Structure 1
Amino acid sequence: MDAFRPSKAAEYRQQAERIRAFAEQVSLLEAKFHLFEAAEQLEELAADEDRG
């Protein structure tokens, strides 16, 4: 069943993309900053998973 389960890196990237899409709809600058920051952290986790 693991063959059908997305990798951790893929999961992190999907979460990052959902956060970015939501951030584009948010009008408050500070909230946008935090959402984009969270997305970047998820991308870093994904890159770590790819390396490790």
Structure 2
Amino acid sequence: MVDLVGIEVDQLVRAGVVVNRYDGLGQDERGIWTAPSGTRIAWFHDPDGNNLSLQQ
């Protein structure tokens, strides 16, 4: 869990991390999805191919 997922995503993208996008999920321009509960989530793969996420 992070305080501001948008800032964390921006830092990861600047470091070369690609945010995963999923068809039909309705992610914003950064690749962040807002769940009905208001939780904001972004997914990405680590160097080993594991799917990880950040949540706010």
More helix, by proportion: 1
**TM-score with structure 2 length normalisation?**
0.29
**TM-score with structure 1 length normalisation?**
0.30
Question: Which protein is bigger by CA-based radius of gyration?
Answer: 1
Question: Does 1 or 2 have the higher relative contact order (CA < 8 Å, sep 6+)?
Answer: 1
More strand, by proportion: 2
